[in-house]
Structure 1
Amino acid sequence: MPDARNGERASLQGGTGGRGGPRRPRAASLHPGAWWLWSLALGTAATRTTNPLLLALLITVSAYVVATRRPHTPWSRSYGAFVKLALAVLLIRLAFAVVLGSPIPGTHVLLALPEVPLPHWAQGIRLGGDVTAEALVFALYDGLKLATLLICVGAANALASPSRLLKSLPGALYELGVAVVVALTFAPNLIADVRRLRSARRLRGRPDKGVRGLLHVGLPVLEGALERSVALAAAMDARGYGRTAEVPPAVRRTTAALTLGGLLGVCAGTYGLLTAEGGTYGLPVLLAGVAAALAGLWLGGRRTLRTRYRPDRWDVRAWLVSASGAAVAALLALAASRDPAALHPGVVPLVAPALPLWPAAAVLLGLLPAFLTPAPEPPASETSAPDAANTRKEPS
């Protein structure tokens, strides 16, 4: 038996995990800020076009990355809820076009609804009337753009951990970070509670669908999600997130001046870029505002005492993921300025949208995170069960 004991001792020193069998190496995960930059860049690209083919391609890209790189956690299941919300927004936009009409003129009348006469002070608004194909197509393009933006935000919620994102924020934004994390964890906890309560009602033989099931599930779900979010905020506050250090008054005044001046510079520079008259000073003012705001945040972080356990590092993969999303947004913005007819197909006269080749190729750059980032770790049940089945007890 000495050989068996020596082998067991060697396996323990080599990284055996006891009950769970051999311990797996911890996979290096991507920085959560990179996922948010990638998702927001795709959402920015969606705002630059109304071409339904390009918007559908953006939705497909985000869905593929979420399907391949989504971690096995309860909060990562929120992507489906954002897809349903996007579909609801699209249907509401079409319903408004049918009921309230549209300013888009059209000749292809699909149906004629009875029109309700309105007083003279409500000019420009109508209830009912002719519903044209041009008005419906315009509403479809407009609603699909907003739906794509919501789906891109849902991809960020499904891929990035809210608690890890809070650790990565600068110290000057810790109060804002706590509020944002509470808000971001509300929706995933809401979805997890819905699944749990619906399965519990099914096991008890009670209805979990329809209006009756919604009424019995809605209140406990809202209460549970709110309690979890508030408990998270209380736990972070108990661990010292509210501590501040004493800084000289000159530093406080300088921090406030830099932050306020930087935000004003960002607003003025953005306005200059959006207007034709301010194209010469817009970019310099914007860059100066961003630099002043970053300097103010750096100085403001000196008054916050924070320690980070195993901080997330911004590595080469985070740069590549962020750059892939930024490239999609920049190329679609360039295409919108050079060929607006391809990215904004007309509805009067009504024509079928065409897929522009190089903007579509630019959208495909958003697939790079599916190949550059590590695969998510399997659930604990999947890793421990095979190892436990393969281990056998050695005789002593």
Structure 2
Amino acid sequence: MSDATRTAPNVSAGDGRARARARNLHPLAWWSWAFGLAVLAGSVTNPWLLLMVALVAGIVVTARRTEAPWALGFRFYLWFALVIVVLRVVFRVVLGGAGDTVLLDLPQLRLPEALGGAGLLGPMTLEALLAGLYDGMRLGAIIICIGAANALANPKRLLAALPPALYEIGTAVVVALSVFPQLVESVQRVRRARRLRGDPGRGTGALRRVVVPVLEDALERSMTLAAGMDARGYGRRGHAGVRERAVTGGLLLAALGGLAVGVYAFLDSSAPRLLAWPMIVLALCLAAVGFVAAGRRVERVRYRPDPWLRADVLTAGCGVVVAVLSTRLQSWAPGVVHPALDALPPLAPVGVAVVLLAVLPAFLTPPPQLQGSLR
């Protein structure tokens, strides 16, 4: 027996063990992770931290995304974020801004009094450009976090994992979140078909020949999705009396009011502390009871529900920890979170550590399943 023959079973066994370890994480775990990263991106204006947030999201997506259609559109979110940054800087140049360091003295155009009398262009200052750049990078980082969640979480499994009380709202949200990945898939399929036919695919005419098939494909997908959901009984309700509906509605309204009061007291330092965290906790408890009561009216079953294992808890926990620590960065390093516009933005180890916590799922979670084994 040759050496190649003797080593072949070992290689096959190793591949089998790797396939057995491969598992797709819970979609809510990925959304919790992305939400925590987005909270961090929305609470800072330091460009170094925002670049690190985008880099961490890209590393995790590259390491843990599948070959599914919705996972192939992350680069389009990157381009979208770049466009947002450019537009934000352009708006700062057009609308003007305060600052002492004048880079270019543009002629100022004064609008008529009927339009508010605002001025356009004028002196272009370094402080205004940096403010526009930092704001654009913050919004772009949030978009990248949302794109990472869309690339990592299966929208169909996300719909199945939602609580029964949020099932109808979740159906609309999941369909809305899956529109952009479906458009990306349609664009890629149409462009691939045109290249196979010898079409170079450049210029305005080529864009028009791509847009029409993409819109037609999106319409067909929407009709197919609607027919499939109607055939499977989506949207059907259980029977509930007037008293049950009144109790459920009262609990949810009380939870919404308590949450609004608690958030306002948390943001307003002059408000009594009794109305902050205690009110938020009470509102969350009322909301949980209301969700359980409302979920009894939804008659549906779950086929092969996704379990929460250690990797899922670790991923969701990373997002929660990053979101909580991002609220403390303001008091730990205020000059790092919101740097001044007249100096080079500083970078503190505590800020870097908080961002790097979000990269743990790329190394401490199992690899995703192959396309052939996806549900």
TM-score (norm 2): 0.90
Contact 1:269 1:285 survives alignment (8 Å): yes
Structure 1 residue 192, shift from structure 2 partner: 0.7
Deviations 1:290-333 (A, max 9, x none): 11111111111111111111101122222211111121222222
> Once structures 1 and 2 are overlaid, which stretch shifts more, 223-232 or 40-49?
223-232
Distance of aligned partners of 1:110 and 1:257 in 2 relative to their CA distance in 1, 3 Å threshold: same
Partner of 2:4: none
> Once structures 1 and 2 are overlaid, which stretch shifts more, 272-281 or 25-34?
25-34
Partner of 1:232: 225
The number of residues matched between the two structures is 360
In structure 1, list runs of 5 or more residues that go unmatched.
Answer: 1-20, 382-396
Counterpart-to-counterpart distance in 2, 1:57 and 1:248: 53
> Once structures 1 and 2 are overlaid, which stretch shifts more, 155-164 or 241-250?
241-250
Partner of 1:194: 187
Partner of 2:37: 42
Structure 1 residue 125, shift from structure 2 partner: 2.8
Distance of aligned partners of 1:209 and 1:26 in 2 relative to their CA distance in 1, 3 Å threshold: farther
Counterpart-to-counterpart distance in 2, 1:25 and 1:324: 25
Partner of 1:283: 277
Structure 1 residue 117, shift from structure 2 partner: 2.3
Contact 2:93 2:121 survives alignment (8 Å): yes
Partner of 2:47: 52
1:242-261 map, 5 Å:
242-261=235-254
Tell me which of 329, 336, 341 is aligned to 2:330.
336
Counterpart-to-counterpart distance in 2, 1:46 and 1:380: 35
Counterpart-to-counterpart distance in 1, 2:294 and 2:189: 42
Structure 1 residue 203, shift from structure 2 partner: 2.1
Contact 2:23 2:367 survives alignment (8 Å): no
Structure 1 residue 212, shift from structure 2 partner: 2.4
1:346-385 map, 5 Å:
346-347=340-341, 350-380=342-372
Counterpart-to-counterpart distance in 2, 1:22 and 1:338: 45
Partner of 2:260: 267
Counterpart-to-counterpart distance in 2, 1:363 and 1:314: 24
Counterpart-to-counterpart distance in 1, 2:232 and 2:21: 26
Paired AA for residue 360 in structure 2: L
Verify: 1:301 aligned to 2:295, yes or no.
yes
Partner of 2:71: 76
Paired AA for residue 359 in structure 2: L
Partner of 2:7: none
1:162-173 map, 5 Å:
162-173=155-166
Please give the secondary structure, in 2, of the residue aligned with 1:217. Answer: helix
Partner of 2:62: 67
Contact 1:183 1:229 survives alignment (8 Å): no
Distance of aligned partners of 1:234 and 1:176 in 2 relative to their CA distance in 1, 3 Å threshold: farther
Verify: 1:94 aligned to 2:86, yes or no.
no
Deviations 1:327-378 (A, max 9, x none): 122222211123211211111xx11111111111111010111122211223
Contact 2:21 2:367 survives alignment (8 Å): no
Contact 1:116 1:128 survives alignment (8 Å): yes
Please give the secondary structure, in 2, of the residue aligned with 1:167. Answer: helix
Verify: 1:118 aligned to 2:111, yes or no.
yes
Partner of 1:29: 24
Contact 2:26 2:306 survives alignment (8 Å): yes
Contact 2:24 2:369 survives alignment (8 Å): no
Paired AA for residue 191 in structure 2: R
Contact 1:269 1:286 survives alignment (8 Å): yes
Larger Rg: 1 or 2? 1
Contact 2:89 2:136 survives alignment (8 Å): yes
Quote the RMSD (CA, aligned, Å). 2.3
> Once structures 1 and 2 are overlaid, which stretch shifts more, 150-159 or 171-180?
171-180
In structure 2, list runs of 5 or more residues that go unmatched.
Answer: 1-15
Partner of 2:286: 292
Contact 1:72 1:379 survives alignment (8 Å): yes
Partner of 1:182: 175
Partner of 1:158: 151
Counterpart-to-counterpart distance in 2, 1:121 and 1:276: 40
Please give the secondary structure, in 2, of the residue aligned with 1:240. Answer: coil
Deviations 1:13-45 (A, max 9, x none): xxxxxxxx9995484321100100100110000
Partner of 2:5: none
